[in-house]
Copies of this chain bind each other. A is one copy, B any other.
Amino acid sequence: MSFEPLKGIRILDLTSVVVGPVCTWRLGQYGAEIIKVESPEGDLMRGLGGMSPTGQHSGTYLHLNRGKRNICLDLKKPSAKEVMQRLVASADVIVANMRPQALARLGLDADTIRKTHPEKIYCLITGYGTEGPYAGQPTYDSVVQGATGMAGLTLKRDGTPTYVPMLICDHVSGEIAAGAIMAAVIAHKASGTGCSMEIPMFETMAAFVLQEHLAQHSFDPPVGEAGDLRLLSPYNKPIKTSDGWISFTVNTDPQVRAFLNATGRSELVNDPRFTSVAARARNVGVWFEVRGAALTGKTTAEWLELFKAADIAVQPCHTLDTLPGDSHLQAVNLISYEVHPTEGRTAAIRSTIRVDEEYAPLQAPSSPRGAQTRDLLEEIGYSEEAILAILAEKAALSWDPAAS
C-alpha cells in the first residue's frame, strides 16, 4: 500500500522559481493534491533553469514541478480574481513565495484570506522576516548565500567568498517549509483551526549556518575563533589519486588507525597527537595535513578497495557526467525515463524515502502552463459556458495540446 498521508489535502500553490516549488513538490510526494497557479508570463524557472526542447520545461522546472496540476490565470482580470477566490475556498493549504506587498495588492495575503477562512493553513515563504529592517526586500538564493555568511566561509581558504554552485538556500528552505506545513496539518487535524506561517529564508539559513559555524563564538566569552575549523581547513577537500579524486572521512579512533595503516603511515598510529578525538581536535592543523595528503600512489579503484576493506567511509568523487551512471544509483533505479507531454523522453527522479519497503510511485510529469485550467474551472463549479467566457477574455489560459 503506498504511503500517501497527505491524500485528500489540497494545496493551492502560488509559488514560482525554486523555494516554493520544492516545498509543494515534497508535499506532493506525500500524496497532497497540488494546484499550481501560474501567470501568463509563466514561472521564471521554465526558461531560467536551462535548455529544453521547447524552451518551456528546463530540467530544474521539470524535476521540481512533478505531480502538480496547473491553472494559468491573469490576475489583472476581475474574473480571474473570482476564480482565485474559489480556488482559495477549495484549498486546505495556501503556499506563497511572492513578496508580502504583492500578495496584499492581490488580496492573497494571509490576513485577508484567513479573515474569511480561519480554518486555512497559510504558509508564506519570504526573503526576510516582517519585523526587521530588511522586511519586504527582494531576495534570491545567491543573495541569501552572501548574507548568511555561507559564501564567506571560503574567504580564508580561497581568498574570495564563493557560492555553493546550487540553489542551496532555496532548496533547503523549501524542504523546511514542507516540514512546517506538515506540522500545521497535524495541528489542524487536532484542533480544526488553521494558522498563518511565515518562513523567512534569511533567518532560516542564517540559523542553519550558525548551528554549525558559530562554534567557539557560541560561548561568552568565546573560546576561540568562530567556525568549525575542521570544515574550514584548506585540507578539508577531496583527495587526488593517480587517476581522479576520492572522498573519505575518518572520525573514530579505529577508523584513524585503519587509515594510517592503509596509507603506509603506521608509524603515526601511536602518535599521541592523533590517538583520540580530543587529541586530533587539539592538533587539527597537522592532523588535517596528514589526512589531506595526496594519495597518488594508486588509482581511485585501488584506494576504494583498500579503504572499503578497512571499513573506512569512502567514495569516488562524481561529476555530473558520471553520477547518473553510479553503480548503486543504477541498481536502485533512482532515475527512470518517461514521455513528457511536450518535451519528449525525459528523466524522472523518484522519491528516495522508503516506507514499508516501497518508494512513493512517480507523480505525473510537470504540466505545460494551463494544462489543467479547464478541469480545475469545472471542478470549482464553473459551467462550460462560463469557462468559455473566461477563456475568451483571457482571464484564464488553457494549454492546447494540438498547438504545441
Q: Interface majority SS on A: helix, strand, loop or mixed? A: mixed
Which residues of A (186-233) have their CB < 8 Å from a CB of B?
186-187, 189-190, 195-200, 202-204, 206-220, 223-224, 226-232
Distance of A76 Cα from B167 Cα, bound (Å): 45
Question: Which residues from B are CB-within-8-Å of A62?
Answer: 218
**In the complex with contacts A166-B209, A210-B63, A245-B146, A44-B349 CB distance below 8 A:** no
- Contact flags (1/0) for A112-155 with B, using CB distance below 8 Å? 00000000000000011111111001111111111111111111
Smallest CB–CB gap between A380 and chain B, Å? 25
Smallest CB–CB gap between A254 and chain B, Å? 11
Q: Contact at A146–B236, with CB atoms within 8 Å? A: no
Return the chain B residue nearest A188 by Cβ: B5
The 10 closest A-B pairs by CB, nearest first: A146-B247, A59-B218, A140-B249, A147-B315, A5-B187, A179-B179, A226-B320, A132-B328, A182-B182, A59-B215
Distance of A318 Cα from B152 Cα, bound (Å): 6
A268 near B: Cβ within 8 Å? no
Copies in the complex: 2
Distance of A125 Cα from B61 Cα, bound (Å): 28
Question: Which residues from B are CB-within-8-Å of A344?
Answer: 219-220
**In the complex with contacts A147-B247, A247-B151, A315-B143, A354-B51 CB distance below 8 A:** no
Q: Contact at A332–B151, with CB atoms within 8 Å? A: no
Question: Which residues from B are CB-within-8-Å of A232?
Answer: 165
A341 near B: Cβ within 8 Å? no
A394 near B: Cβ within 8 Å? no
Question: Which residues from B are CB-within-8-Å of A204?
Answer: 352-353
Return the chain B residue nearest A321 by Cβ: B226
A308 near B: Cβ within 8 Å? yes
A48 near B: Cβ within 8 Å? yes
Which residues of A (370-388) have their CB < 8 Å from a CB of B?
none
